[in-house]
A and B are shown apart, each in its own frame.
Chain A
């Protein structure tokens, strides 16, 4: 484990909280994009070996997570002309506190998990990213914010994958490709359809789809 990994992981946590604390969707997207950059760099740093394979993985991760998806999201907010998460189900302060609690819990839990030999921070940060992703998914109403939460969740799983990178080759790559494919596909269709159907992309309107 390279010593550079620690500061990067800490920055990942900071981007998690940045997403939690901001109401502006563009800022959310910026945060999640920078998280993508961090994850890409991290996959280089964790192995410590600069193989072509590692570089390709990093570049692929950055291209997809930090460029493609944010670009897609920006396009979506332009199309639907939403700029802010107006009415989150849980206020910003409480969801922030939830995030802080998730932080403490995941560090406490990670201390009890068997060591993976990939540094002391990787597992707790992965856990915290997954949990905060869930918090965002649960507490936000706009579909865009939910996509951001979903991406964060996926980033956390990606971090988990990194702990196993040496033992199970191609796990991470497969994860990236599959998740991204599913993510783009599903969310793209969903956003497009909601938008066309209701002229807005608020996920609360989805409940009107149920059969009455």
Chain B
């Protein structure tokens, strides 16, 4: 709570009560809020927009990149698988062209060819020669398949018709997954025979499992009916039907996105020509996007950090500027008050002078009339012995004299309000000021003692300002002390160029927290009693104009001591007169 209080800017709770109908113009909290919102919008909105744009572009670039990479991988794998099949088909083609039908029907020769194919190419399990009737004439391999008739087999019909056939993977008689490559060769007599080889699917599996797949990828072959031709990590074993739709035919590699079990999948595929196989590579989108998510986190982190820095800077700058505006406004008000104060003092002076003048004339008449009575009583013999009347006349003259002293003091005070720098006797000024408060001191039994050191010479100062300073401080002391209290005023020399005037009272004192603020404009603990908080502030300004300084020491319950230091010779540049104040 106290930290918040410390952070709270000066203007936050400031209300210019004197602003009147233009109050809204001096609502500094509103000015601050408007500045912060406006600058934040101008600074942050473009940043957020650019970040969103960058986010979109980068995301799209990353997505395009991994789609391209998937397409490239599918294409490369397709080439490998196609080459594998084409290589074996070409080998069989070579065998039928290099050997006559009869030599192929020779078991030894056929076994020798199988041995060469296994060693030269690999992947061959067995090899057989089937005549045009579908009867297997010769066979080399681990099974006893001689004499089997394949006339009704699909691959036989297809090979007979097309000249070559690559079959789906199937279990067949041997109960292991395999597929067949069959090549037809025409004989000179118009007949034909088919060389049929069984290929081990392990070679396929090995080929696909060695692929470097990112994003928990899966690669496999399916046939056009969606049946797995090689095992899949995620979609089942060989000859299972995959749960994904069979992709539509395309002559080229294609990549598309699919949702499976609420997961995004990126699927690349390609049809392998002249075979029933479709190569498919499936990757999980979330896994592929992981590097992008790291980048995205960095981007969002950067955005948050940037916005934080901008907000801190905006808050600091707005607070600083509004504080400066408040200070400037307070200076403006202070100047206005000073001018108002000077005008008020001048008006009081004129009023006092007018009153004194008006009173002085009838007073002079009374003085002369009573004087004449006294003259007659003292000078003329016939009234000489009437002592009672003489005493009465003397009493009346004494009262006239007292009235005259008061009006002269008023005139003296008013006269010095307009006077500029002159020679001043500090003792006289103190006595003049106290003259106004003698009666109050008497009524409240306040003991006022004055002690002015004899070695203080007359010095240069503005008497009007000096008496205002002293009057303000003495008035404050009178306000602080209780009835029967004590106020000491002492003046002494401070070195060769300065004098000090100290006002000590035994009043209520000022709390330590308020002590450093007593000279601030508008600081008052008596606002409810009508205090403006300007008295000591104006006093401070006046002392500075006189080229001096003012300090305060206080202890709650014990009293307060104000010390005014004044130069014996005023610096003309330092001392500012009333016109200067008015022009500021």
Whether chain B is bound by chain A comes out as no
Q: Which residues of A contact B (CB under 8 A)?
A: none
Q: Which residues of B contact A (CB under 8 A)?
A: none
